[in-house]
Structure 1
Amino acid sequence: MILTYSWLREFVDCDLAPEELAHRLTMAGLEVDSMEKIGEGLDGVIVARLQEVAPHPDADRLTVCRVDTGTEVLQVVCGAKNHQTGDLVALAQVGTVLPGDFKIKKSKIRGQESFGMLCSEKELGLAEESEGILILAPDLPLGKPVFEALGLKDVRFELGLTPNRADCLSVVGVAREVAALTGRPLRLAPVSLEESGAPVAEQTSVSIDEPGMCPRYAARLIRGVKIGPSPPWMVRRLESIGQRSINNVVDVTNFVLMELGHPLHAFDFSLLRGGRIVVRCAQQGETFTTLDGQKRTLTSKDLTICDAQGPVALAGIMGGENSEIRPDTVDILLESAYFNPPTIRRTSKRLGLHSESSHRFERGADVDMVPRALDRAAALILEVAGGTLAKGAIDCYPRPIAPRKLSISAEKTSRLLGINIDLFEIQKLLRAIGLDAVVAEDRREDTLYVTVPNFRPDLEREVDLIEEVARLKGYEHIPTTMPQGRILCHREPTVRILERRLRDKIVACGFHEVINYAFNSAGLLDRLGLDAADPRRTQVRLLNPLNEEQSVMRTTLVPSLLQSLAQNLAYRSAADLRLFELRPVFLPREGDELPVENLRLAAVICGRRHPLSWSQGSELVDFFDIKGVVEELLEPLRLPKLRWQAEHNESFYHPGKSCAVQSEGRTLGTLGELHPRVLDSFEIDQPTFLLDLDLGELCRIGLGGTQFKGLSRFPGVYRDSAMVFDEAVTAEQILDAVRGAKAADMEDVALFDVYRGKGIQEGKKSVAIRVRYRSAEKTLTDDEISKAHGRIIKALENQLGAEIR
């Protein structure tokens, strides 16, 4: 939006310096992108009179002028032809720098000296084009700077408005803001109309076929106008904001557009077929030529202004060639309307056609400004172009748009802005920008009830009103506070930590994850051979299953995992597989509608221990492979008193080839070789080993922390002993007895050999034990080691009946 300081002051008495005004507007949210002082540095261009104009003796197209400045007479060579003796002209004196950094110097042109330059409007930056030098009014004082004499010294502001501030796309809109910021009253230009023609309703009509797209359309008829140049004051005003003068009627519509922010359009009434206006959507594929000479193809969603036969304008965007104002136009129909913003925005974007009119309608014009803009334009046209105004105006407004009603609380305003502000001050600020804010006696005392005028479509909620209060109060009065951010220590649930660790660890062991449906067939448990009393037989049944194979929620991962194994074995030539699944199972809970979801980890292994190669690959996996996987998974968890319980057995394991893993009396899971009968039921034709861990039990025990201790710098010593035990003695009992002996400086113990056969009687076995001793303080002597090792031997003899071999 571009406007000048002098134009702004016509609507509000502003005594702020231009620099201060620019600062206040910017702080109020209307950012001033640039400020240009018109005529600054051009005081060297003065009013002068032509005393004599003579032809140049050596150039046919030049004249030699004697110019009176009021204090002296100078000779100036001029190339224009539109001047004569007695004219007042704009003389740029020697030393003056014109726009474009053109400095005037004393010169000699074709043998004649020239002490200055007679300037055109283009050379002074007052117009884009000019045919000759600027001829001034005869009553101006000689020697006075031209810009000052013409009243052209001004300041031009360019505002960078945000899309929501359509109300400030006019001089009056910005003046309203300045009035609110300075406490001065806003005044509008008076409108006085003389209606002397026949009633307008007898001469033309308007019908709206699309009231949703065009809620309001008004028109006035003026006959007998004379098209010609606009008066200098209007031309200067338009040119000061970058608008080009066209003719007096079109200039008036552009002038009112910039003044009031409401677009208008003038039609040549004689070119309107049928002498009437119809507002309707275009027909699909209909063509229309706009004022820029471009032929446009329209769609059924494009709103058009039509006469009795076809389009004469693109609604809210641009008029058509077939009804434009021409030099011989006599009668005009003046349009002032309001169009639905999305309608204009859609057509403008599709056609790539943007105008000052569409710019405003897209953002939301003021529907209540329609009649005032129409009357203001009609009055100016009568002033600058003459003519007779028909009595009355056509104003089609089938469904009036009511102003929006909002409320604002002083308590909430103070809380959001961080300052104490009372209801009276809020009311004063909102009324300053044209909002009707009242305190209703029959409602809350802390609340203002606000009627939002239609020129502020951006005010939709209470927070919008609070924002208005903030910028009118002044952002500099709102204290700066840093937002408070609480740093929360988010602890990942233990089960998630455990799940991530186990998944990473088992993948590192060479297993591939499978993901099966959480629901399966109830018959799968029969294939596992579970007892009828097994709790896993009680399953949650789906009310509306997709099929019988997916009718119940699973209570164990084993059946679906074995199905995945069987399918992979059937489709792969290699029989070496390692698969796992880490997913929840669903166990019904008595008295509760929802089942208990418990995470479990199940894994299967079969085939060769190592990939087939020239040096290895023939050994098949066995129980100790799956046991090693379990140890690898549980070792980093630092679980207390981990034990392997061989007496525990599941029905789907091979008898004597399975065990349970326990800690602190809790069963963490089971592992072992699957029963041949179970393998047959799943059509698996090779030995397969399974592990099944309960993550819920692991979490209940808790994950052990990692402990560190310094490495001893002294050497370690190994002592081996071979002892004979009863066949029933387990390795775990032997290790417990060794650790329980609490031999001094014992660092580690391992069983490294088991022998049965010659030299060992029936029912006995020989077990070789290796103990490592190391002290953190000294090098151990042979006597100290022997004493400690003897303590271990004695413990094995007393507790397990061992005999040294």
Structure 2
Amino acid sequence: MKISYNWLKEYIDLTEKPEEVSKVLTGLGLEVEGLEFHEEIPGSMEGLVLGEVVACEPHPNADKLKLTKVDVGGPELLGIVCGAPNVAKGQRVVVATNGTTIHPKAGEPFQIKRAKIRGEESNGMICAEDEIGLSSDHGGVIVLDTQLPNGTPAADYFKPTTDYVFEIGLTPNRADATSHYGTARDLAAFYGRPLKFPPIDTFKTDDKSLKIDVSVENAEACPRYAGVTLTGLKVGPSPSWLKARLEAIGLTPINNIVDVTNYICHGVGQPLHAFDAAKIKGGKVVVKTLPEGTKFTTLDEKERKLSANDLMICDAEEGMCIAGVFGGTHSGVSDTTTSIFLESAYFSPDYVRRTAILHGLKTDASFRFERGIDPNGAVNALKHAALLIKEVAGGSISSEVVDIYPQPIADFRFKVRFARVNMLMGKDIGREAILKILKNLHIGVEDLTAHDFTAVVPPYRVDVQREIDIVEEVLRVYGIDNIELSATIGAKTLSEFPTVDDNKLQLKISEFLAARSFYEIITNSLTNAEYGAKSGLYEEEQNVVILNKLSEELGVMRQSMLFSGLEVVAYNNNHRQPNLKFFEFGKTYHKKDSGKYREQNRLALFVTGASHEESWRQPTKAIEFYDLSAALQQILNKLNISGYETQPTSDKTFESGLDFSLNGKMFASIGQVNKKVLKLAEVRQPVFYADIDWKQLLKWYKGTIDYAEVPKFPEVRRDLSLVLDKSVSFSQVEKVARQAERRLIKGLNVFSVYEGDKLEAGKKSYAISFTLQDEKETLKDKQIDKTMNALIAAFASQLGAIIRK
């Protein structure tokens, strides 16, 4: 949002330099992201002077050029070759002397130099309006009517203004600050100065020659609607001061009527709309919704189909404007307009937001309406605009103000405790300071006691509805830099309350995966409902369906990260990139039986192709399940999560795979993606996929690492070869071993697996190494043998294992 320094001074007396005001605004929560110097006329006419053409003769070598002698107040006349058709003796003109840099309306700045034009010397240039940035007119040189002496700087005649423009990064909660007046309100509270609203006491109805009947059929969508008519107007260019205001903040002047509505919108935060009164059929304005599918052509000349929830401003026959969003092609102000109906309203933020999103329209008006403007300022803004239009376009106010406001929007009221304010601020600033700040912010106080009060917050402060919001208001005006650090605060105190920063932890794992050749992907949360229907993986009743879907291919929110990731795999495969390792942090969405919704944070991993590129040192190898399983286990180690178990998955997503669980709660599934699913996503090579509940991992994350002194006594290795049923997993073997001996076993490892004709059908052989260690003494053979015998007995009784000799 752009705010003009000069414009601010219309609402508050400012003597501080723009740089200082910039710091104050940032401290108040209106962060200034940039401060630019702005010139109404580029270069501010530096070097340009007033002169008089004292001689003008045809150029001897060119039919369209003339030789002139110009008096610019110097000791000698300047000989200037001029090609303008209107240049003549006796004219007062604007002259750019040699060495002057001029800034044309179009093109780059350039410097005037002594030159020979068709054999005749020229010292300077007699300027047209477009050549010095005044306008786009190139019809001839500027001819002035002035008594100022020759040589007077042109800036003294034209008086071009300069300004500073603040670029404010407005946060969504600060709906009250979407204007110069709202910004000035914060500065007035900080400096303790009065806030000035433009005077409207001279407003009066000049005649009652044009009456427009107004009715509001949907008061929920339009709680307040006001309007007034003006007649006898002359549409034309705006005066220079109005143009300068708009151009400073990047707006292009259109005509005096439209420019006033833009000036009010950005000045005091009230969007307005001017209708050509002659085009209002039946002399009636109706605020209502139209039937679903009604066609309406907007100012951008696009025909749109309206929703039944789109609030419209209509005449007696048809729609004229999408309320609070965009006008129509047939009812706006044109060069032939002589009378208008001027609208000032408060539209429901919910209605405006929904309509703006549905039609993809973002305007200055919708930006303000959908955040919430001041419902009690509509009439004052209307009167201010009407007076300005009379000033810049002539005419008369030809009706009483219509103001339909059946149910005034109430102030927010809630209790605030002084002790609570002081405690959360970290400083006792006293009751009087708190009350003074609130008064300066136009927040009322009722039921005042020694301990608390009732805050009365005007409805335009939609972000102040709780006690904690009052604390924030007081703190930002008082200044957070004025809150001293406690003498007792220290790192030791803070370290006792560690807080897990989810974003930092996500970054940590992202960097960890990136270091292992994974690429991060970010995919669309919208997906095709056909994926779930054809794969049979998801319940259709759990789909979160998009009401205003752009296409059927993006019609539902995803229930899984699978298909959006497979689309990326397919895209890369089609571009001859077969070897891929991806990860994505994202969300999945489900509709519950209760009609409510569930949103989950997930981490997805995808690997496919070869584990590494071809090399003369080693042959390439197809990526395996264990490559992805190792990546998941490394993530768990990085998060200090241990004690998890695995079991074969029953998820139809996979041909085969494992489920990971901890404390009876499953948190990850991993495996080779089902061929039917791959075909649906048009992927033609095997893909291994891991679906991880990231939120659950955050809950289990251990921010500290357990450590112990390095044991003084040596460890011992013993091996066993077990013949087991194929259905027995290594995790079962590990679980039985650790139950049989909890203290001495420090590690287990499978170093060989055999399945073949030397074993019975349905059997497999595990060769397992056991690492044993006693931290208090050296292990003796008798103790080692006892441990191994206990393990053998446990494997035989619980797993039916046979020990191979």
Q: TM-score range by the shorter chain?
A: 0.5 to 0.7
Partner Cα distance (2:499, 2:53) in 1: 91
Deviation at 1:283, TM superposition (A): 2.4
Partner of 1:21: 21
8 A Cα contact 1:4 1:155, kept in partner: yes
Partner of 1:5: 5
Whether 1:465 and 2:470 are equivalent positions in the alignment is yes
Partner Cα distance (1:503, 1:248) in 2: 74
8 A Cα contact 1:83 1:133, kept in partner: yes
Partner of 1:166: 175
Secondary structure at the residue paired with 2:292? Answer: coil
**Cα deviations across residues 728-786 of structure 1 (Å, max 9, x unaligned)?**
xxxxxxxxxxxxxxxxxxxxxxxxx9xxxxxxxxxxxxxxxxxxxxxxxxxxxxxxxxx
Deviation at 1:244, TM superposition (A): 2.5
Evaluate the alpha carbon distance shift between residue 620 and residue 184 of structure 1 in structure 2; reply closer, same or farther with a 3 A threshold: closer
8 A Cα contact 1:610 1:616, kept in partner: no
Partner of 2:619: none
Deviation at 1:134, TM superposition (A): 5.3
Partner Cα distance (1:178, 1:317) in 2: 30
After TM superposition, list the pairs within 5 Å mapping 1:170-181 onto structure 2: 170-181=179-190
Partner Cα distance (2:774, 2:645) in 1: 10
Whether 1:368 and 2:376 are equivalent positions in the alignment is yes
Evaluate the alpha carbon distance shift between residue 310 and residue 690 of structure 1 in structure 2; reply closer, same or farther with a 3 A threshold: same
Evaluate the alpha carbon distance shift between residue 464 and residue 285 of structure 1 in structure 2; reply closer, same or farther with a 3 A threshold: same
Partner Cα distance (1:513, 1:410) in 2: 54
Secondary structure at the residue paired with 1:484? Answer: helix
Partner Cα distance (2:499, 2:185) in 1: 52
Partner Cα distance (2:432, 2:375) in 1: 30
Aligned counterpart for 2:304 among listed residues 274, 296, 300: 296
Partner of 1:207: 215
Partner of 1:36: 37
Partner Cα distance (1:148, 1:233) in 2: 16
Is there any run of 5+ residues in structure 1 with no aligned partner, and where? 491-496, 505-511, 519-573, 584-598, 603-608, 645-660, 664-668, 675-687, 692-752, 754-805
AA partner of residue 378 (structure 2): V
Aligned counterpart for 1:94 among listed residues 93, 98, 101: 98
Percent identity of paired positions between Structure 1 and Structure 2: 35
Partner of 2:191: 182
**Cα deviations across residues 659-704 of structure 1 (Å, max 9, x unaligned)?**
xx999xxxxx989769xxxxxxxxxxxxx8499xxxxxxxxxxxxx
Secondary structure at the residue paired with 2:218? Answer: coil
Aligned counterpart for 1:328 among listed residues 330, 336, 351: 336
Deviation at 1:157, TM superposition (A): 0.8
After TM superposition, list the pairs within 5 Å mapping 1:31-110 onto structure 2: 31-32=31-32, 33-38=34-39, 42=44, 44-52=46-54, 54=56, 56-57=58-59, 58-71=61-74, 73-81=77-85, 88-99=92-103, 100-110=108-118
8 A Cα contact 1:119 1:133, kept in partner: yes
**Cα deviations across residues 780-801 of structure 1 (Å, max 9, x unaligned)?**
xxxxxxxxxxxxxxxxxxxxxx
Deviation at 1:402, TM superposition (A): 0.8
Partner of 1:456: 461
Deviation at 1:236, TM superposition (A): 3.2
Secondary structure at the residue paired with 2:53? Answer: strand
Partner of 1:478: 483
8 A Cα contact 1:611 1:617, kept in partner: no
Partner Cα distance (1:502, 1:303) in 2: 57
Evaluate the alpha carbon distance shift between residue 186 and residue 577 of structure 1 in structure 2; reply closer, same or farther with a 3 A threshold: closer
Deviation at 1:35, TM superposition (A): 1.9
Evaluate the alpha carbon distance shift between residue 502 and residue 469 of structure 1 in structure 2; reply closer, same or farther with a 3 A threshold: closer
Partner Cα distance (1:620, 1:403) in 2: 78
- Deviates further, 259-268 or 413-422: 413-422
Deviation at 1:255, TM superposition (A): 1.9
Deviation at 1:204, TM superposition (A): 1.9
Is there any run of 5+ residues in structure 2 with no aligned partner, and where? 501-639, 648-657, 665-723, 742-751, 784-788
Partner Cα distance (2:298, 2:645) in 1: 73
Partner of 1:430: 438
- Deviates further, 249-258 or 373-382: 249-258
Partner Cα distance (1:147, 1:446) in 2: 61
Partner Cα distance (2:214, 2:797) in 1: 93
Evaluate the alpha carbon distance shift between residue 164 and residue 132 of structure 1 in structure 2; reply closer, same or farther with a 3 A threshold: farther
Secondary structure at the residue paired with 1:322? Answer: coil
Count how many residue pairs are aligned between Structure 1 and Structure 2: 562
8 A Cα contact 2:99 2:112, kept in partner: yes
Deviation at 1:356, TM superposition (A): 1.8
Secondary structure at the residue paired with 1:54? Answer: strand
Partner of 1:379: 387
8 A Cα contact 2:45 2:102, kept in partner: no
Deviation at 1:20, TM superposition (A): 2.0
Deviation at 1:326, TM superposition (A): 1.9
Partner of 1:196: 206
Deviation at 1:121, TM superposition (A): 5.2
Evaluate the alpha carbon distance shift between residue 613 and residue 433 of structure 1 in structure 2; reply closer, same or farther with a 3 A threshold: closer
Secondary structure at the residue paired with 2:398? Answer: strand
8 A Cα contact 2:726 2:763, kept in partner: no
**Cα deviations across residues 520-566 of structure 1 (Å, max 9, x unaligned)?**
xxxxxxxxxxxxxxxxxxxxxxxxxxxxxxxxxxxxxxxxxxxxxxx
Partner Cα distance (1:313, 1:84) in 2: 51
Partner Cα distance (2:4, 2:129) in 1: 19
Deviation at 1:308, TM superposition (A): 1.1
Evaluate the alpha carbon distance shift between residue 498 and residue 340 of structure 1 in structure 2; reply closer, same or farther with a 3 A threshold: closer
Deviation at 1:320, TM superposition (A): 1.2
Evaluate the alpha carbon distance shift between residue 92 and residue 394 of structure 1 in structure 2; reply closer, same or farther with a 3 A threshold: same
Secondary structure at the residue paired with 2:78? Answer: strand
8 A Cα contact 2:53 2:92, kept in partner: no
Deviation at 1:10, TM superposition (A): 2.3
Evaluate the alpha carbon distance shift between residue 302 and residue 690 of structure 1 in structure 2; reply closer, same or farther with a 3 A threshold: same
Q: CA RMSD in A?
A: 4.7
Partner Cα distance (1:244, 1:214) in 2: 30
Deviation at 1:182, TM superposition (A): 2.5
- Deviates further, 83-92 or 407-416: 83-92
**Cα deviations across residues 230-286 of structure 1 (Å, max 9, x unaligned)?**
233323333333332322222221222222121111111111111111112232222
8 A Cα contact 2:289 2:309, kept in partner: yes
Partner Cα distance (1:183, 1:673) in 2: 85
Partner Cα distance (1:514, 1:259) in 2: 60
Evaluate the alpha carbon distance shift between residue 118 and residue 312 of structure 1 in structure 2; reply closer, same or farther with a 3 A threshold: farther
Deviation at 1:94, TM superposition (A): 2.7
Deviation at 1:409, TM superposition (A): 3.2
Secondary structure at the residue paired with 1:155? Answer: strand
8 A Cα contact 2:85 2:140, kept in partner: yes
Partner Cα distance (1:78, 1:134) in 2: 12
Partner of 2:406: 398
8 A Cα contact 1:98 1:123, kept in partner: yes
Partner Cα distance (1:489, 1:103) in 2: 62
Deviation at 1:366, TM superposition (A): 1.4
Deviation at 1:377, TM superposition (A): 1.1
Deviation at 1:399, TM superposition (A): 2.0
Evaluate the alpha carbon distance shift between residue 501 and residue 119 of structure 1 in structure 2; reply closer, same or farther with a 3 A threshold: closer
Partner of 1:308: 316
After TM superposition, list the pairs within 5 Å mapping 1:336-355 onto structure 2: 336-355=344-363
8 A Cα contact 2:49 2:96, kept in partner: no
Looking at CA atoms only, which structure, 1 or 2, has the larger radius of gyration? 1
Evaluate the alpha carbon distance shift between residue 474 and residue 134 of structure 1 in structure 2; reply closer, same or farther with a 3 A threshold: farther
Deviation at 1:141, TM superposition (A): 6.4
TM-score in terms of structure 1 length: 0.60
**Cα deviations across residues 334-364 of structure 1 (Å, max 9, x unaligned)?**
1111112232222223323222222222222
Partner of 1:526: none
Deviation at 1:421, TM superposition (A): 1.2
Deviation at 1:167, TM superposition (A): 2.4
AA partner of residue 205 (structure 2): E
Secondary structure at the residue paired with 2:207? Answer: strand
**Cα deviations across residues 436-466 of structure 1 (Å, max 9, x unaligned)?**
2x3624x4x2334322223322223222222
Partner of 1:116: 124
Partner Cα distance (1:25, 1:90) in 2: 41
Deviation at 1:218, TM superposition (A): 0.7
TM-score in terms of structure 2 length: 0.60
Deviation at 1:60, TM superposition (A): 4.7
